[in-house]
Every structure is written in structure tokens, then in C-alpha cells.
Structure 1
Amino acid sequence: MKKLLIIGAGEYGRLIKDLALESGYDDADFLDDNSQLAIGKIADYKKFIGEYDEFIVAMGNPQVRKKCVEMIAADFKLATIIHPRAYVSGDASIGAGSIVEPGCVVYRACTIGQSCLINAGAVLNHDSTVGDFCQIGCNAVVTARAVVAAGTKVEHGSVVHSAI
């Protein structure tokens, strides 16, 4: 049985749980400091070592996401979730902790960094690069050879033509 520990039980965390269950995980639970859906607080993550196969951080703020990854990654394997209804080229590179939602297109020679959120319908054209801890909004387009700097949020429906 493949179990996922999700850091963050907010709206995005609950969405990630659905995506994880649709992507082959058998079970998923939350750690969150402010949610009754959670099985514990984030700082208590060590109590769950051995109970879960992997973890993922489901928080939009890139600094908070990075802090959680750095805190927990020494003790848990960082999951990468690629929804079965996303297209990802065989020679694209997707970093640990990243999430590629349904309807996304990740073309050849794309590089997605660590712990990125690629929201539904986003298109990353060939040879584009998305830095660590980025978020590419729903239906956003990163054009061929464009570079998105680490920690950047590309808004829903935006088009990135060059480095940002």
C-alpha cells in the first residue's frame, strides 16, 4: 500500500490528496497546524516516519514550501505527482516534490525544478526551464526556451516569453 503524507490541509492540500489518489497512491493524510482534517502538526512529522512512503508540500507560498521541504526531506522521500491526464515528454525533467496537474503539457527538453506546482492546463513549450519552488498557474503558457526564475509565481492565463 502506497501512502502519502501531505504537508498542508488547506484548499490546495485537499486538491493534492485527490490528485494523489488518482495517480496511484492508496492513501493520503495531512499534517497542518490549523486544520481538523490533519492527523498532526507539521513539527510532529517525525512521529510518522515509517508509516508513509513519501511526503509532499501543498502550500502556495514558495518560501514556506521550501522551508518545509528542507525540514522534512532528510527523513522522508519527497514525492513527485504527475497526474495520468497530463502529457509529459519522455525527455522532460521534473524535480522531486513537483506536482503536474491534469491537462498540463510538458514538451520535450523542459526542465521543472524541485517542488514546483504546475496547475491544470498549463503548457510548458519545448526547451523551457522552470526554477525550483515555482508555481505555473492554470492555463499559463511558458513559451519555447523561456526561463522562469526560482520562486516565481506565473499567474493563471499568463504567457511567459522570456526570463522572469
Structure 2
Amino acid sequence: MKNKLLIIGASGHGKVVADIALEMNKWEKVYFLDDNEKMKSSLGIEVIGKVDKAFAHLNDCDIFVGIGNNAIRGRIQEKLEEEGASIPILIHPDAVIGEQVELAAGTVVMAGVIINCCTKIGKGCIINTGSTIDHDNLIEDYVHISPGAHLAGTVKVGEGSWLGVGSIVSNNVNITSRCQVGAGAVVVRDITEVGIYVGVPARRV
């Protein structure tokens, strides 16, 4: 771990990531990178250059990808990993993390989250505000669990999937990779086909 943190992306999601980093109080300095040249600061934190400047700071900064889009976040993190970047895990102090929970590099756990025991969460995931993940879940890489989403026990969510605000997943359900589950949808059976799922119970549209 280094004493400076560089966050890629200074917009909405990046600001929440920065706020969590400040709450953690582990870094002496926090900076942003963003490709919007007009953005000089965000949340009172300086934007010191474009995204590609990250590779010049591999030796002196931890680097975190604060971009909400799953595919873009994954693409950037994979490049950083190839170059040997130090990528932390960010956990808000108000989150509750159970025993034998595994979190991988580049994942952020936001305020009010509860993750119960024996759950494994992959790299580059967003576990957003007030969401809950119960026991023995498997959340693969670059998944976004939106605010207020609730996953029961023994749920699997495939790589790159996105669960919308307030969505619910019943126990023992598998969701395949690169799916979108709409806001408020209730998933009660396995999702095996890529697509967008909405409604109660959730159906493909």
C-alpha cells in the first residue's frame, strides 16, 4: 500500500469512491484523473491529468478505477493489472462485512452495505449504497450491485452483470454474465440467457 491514491474518473461514481477513500483515512493524498479537460477538481480534490497518466504513477500511487460502466472499468483495470499497478479495496467504515468474506482488488463497498459470511466477491465490483448480500454468494468480476439491491443466500452473479436499484434475487439463483436486471425487479429463477430482465417476477425483454 502506498501513501497516495489516484482515482480514475472524477464524475458521480468517482466522487463517491473518493469520499469513501477519505473516510478510510489511509492515504495522505488523493487525486483524480479524468479525460474531461475542463474538470480541474471534483469534491475539492485536484484532477491532475488524463486517464493515461495513470501509468506514470505506478510506483508512487495506489490506483483505483472509479468508473461506473462495468465494461470500461474492467478494461482499464485489466490494463493496470498487466502493468503491475497496486489496486486497493475500498470499504466504507459503515459497511458490515461477515466472517470469511473474500473481496478482490478494485472492488468498492459503500455505506450501509451488509455482506454476510462465506461470500466471495470478485475484482472491480461495485457494491453500492445500502445493498445486502447474504451468505455463500459468488459475485464474479466487474459486477455492479446497485443501491438497495438485496441478494438472498447462495446466489451467483456472473461477470459484468448489473443489478438495478432495489432489485431482489431469491436464494439459490444463478444469473449469467453480462445481464442487466432492472430497478425493482425480482429474480426468482435462474437467468441463463444474456439480456435485460424487468418486472415481478423478472422476465427478459
TM-score (norm 1): 0.94
Letter in 1 for 2:119: C
Query: Identity of counterpart residues, as a percentage?
Result: 31
Deviations 1:106-139 (A, max 9, x none): 0001111100000011100001111100000111
Equivalent residue, structure 2, for 1:20: 21
Equivalent residue, structure 2, for 1:57: 65
8 Å CA contact 1:46, 1:75 repeated in 2: no
Equivalent residue, structure 2, for 1:29: 31
Higher relative contact order (CA 8 A, sep 6+): 1
SS of aligned partner of 1:60: coil
Equivalent residue, structure 2, for 1:121: 130
Letter in 2 for 1:26: E
SS of aligned partner of 1:4: strand
Matches within 5 A, 1:1-164: 2-24=3-25, 25-34=27-36, 35-37=39-41, 38-52=47-61, 54-73=62-81, 74-161=83-170, 162-164=173-175
Letter in 2 for 1:144: G
Distance in 2, Cα, partners of 1:159 & 1:153: 12
Q: How many residues align?
A: 163
Letter in 2 for 1:12: H
Distance in 2, Cα, partners of 1:44 & 1:55: 11
8 Å CA contact 2:149, 2:163 repeated in 1: yes
Distance in 1, Cα, partners of 2:106 & 2:150: 21
Letter in 1 for 2:174: A
